[in-house]
Amino acid sequence: MMLSVCGVHFTYNSHPLLRNIDFSLERGELLAILGPNGVGKTTLLKCMNAILRPASGAILVQERDILSLAPADIARDIGYVSQKNEASRLTVFDAVLMGRTPHIRWRMSDDDLRKTDAILHTMDLCSKAMRHIDTLSGGELQKVCIARALVQEPSLLLLDEPTSALDLRNQVEIMNLIRRVVDEHRIAAVMSMHDLNMALRHADKTIFLKDGDIHAMTTPGCVTPEIIHEVYGLPVHIHRIDGRSIVIPQN
């Protein structure tokens, strides 16, 4: 098992935000964490990266409990793309190269440079390598942030709202890219999402959070209108189009 989340509880200001969270993920699988605002999606991702520390429970990546590891060891196993990424005067090449930091001992090696070049090629960013990232569009900046996480060569990729604030074309491009990376690199990936249709189109598994608990855990094809109504308080229809589930609000 690539990822095992076992009995995770998280408390904020004496208020239990996550309770008894349990799930697992294999290589080549993409999991979408779904639920309304404030339900703990980002908190769960941060617990999985040890940015936040649960009150109890274990998070195993390749059978190692990350809560017992040093930050540098966590960074070699887990790539994290946050929801908000600040632009700077770094070039695209240098910004992506920074992802090699967990692997660098004394100085940047030729191997680090080659791997950065390879990821830029994979992400179709070669033509922008010398541009400053504060001149990029939102979609381009998101690709750079994903590239920086991938050049770490992680076993697990965590993405917090990877399509937020992007237009429809960039949303589709980013989600297709994430799906392709998971398949080709055989890594496990977990993403928090608000867009149900994007999640059902691309994920292998879905988790719906409600009131700090896992309300439902299923595959996209088995998500029902009842689950969505119970979690979001919104009646919906689910239709199948070209073999995919499409959620349509009734109101």
DSSP-derived 3-state class of residue 16 = strand
Residue 26 has φ and ψ, to the nearest 5°, of -100, 170
Sequence letter at residue 28? G
Q: Is the dihedral of CA 142, 145, 147, 153 positive or negative?
A: negative
Per-residue pLDDT, 14: 79
Write down the pTM of the prediction. Answer: 0.91
DSSP-derived 3-state class of residue 213 = strand
Pairwise CA distance, residues 231 & 54, whole Å: 24
Residue 106: CATH number of its domain: 3.40.50.300
Instruction: Report the relative pairing of strands 205-210 and 188-192 from DSSP bridges.
Output: unpaired
Residue 73 has φ and ψ, to the nearest 5°, of -70, -40
Q: Which structure tokens are listed for 148?
A: 């920086």
Query: Residue 135's domain spans which residues?
Result: 3-249
Q: How many domains does the chain have?
A: 1
- Tell me the per-residue pLDDT of 99-121, one tens digit each, with 9 for 90 and over: 888 777 667 788 889 999 999 99
- Tell me the per-residue pLDDT of 63-100, one tens digit each, with 9 for 90 and over: 999 999 988 889 889 999 987 766 677 899 999 998 88
- Tell me the per-residue pLDDT of 166-179, one tens digit each, with 9 for 90 and over: 889 889 988 998 99
Per-residue pLDDT, 91: 93
Per-residue pLDDT, 175: 92
Pairwise CA distance, residues 84 & 165, whole Å: 10
Angle between helices 110-122 and 138-150 (to 10 degrees): 140
What would the mean pLDDT of 193-214 be, rounded to a whole number? 95
Per-residue pLDDT, 104: 72
Per-residue pLDDT, 1: 83
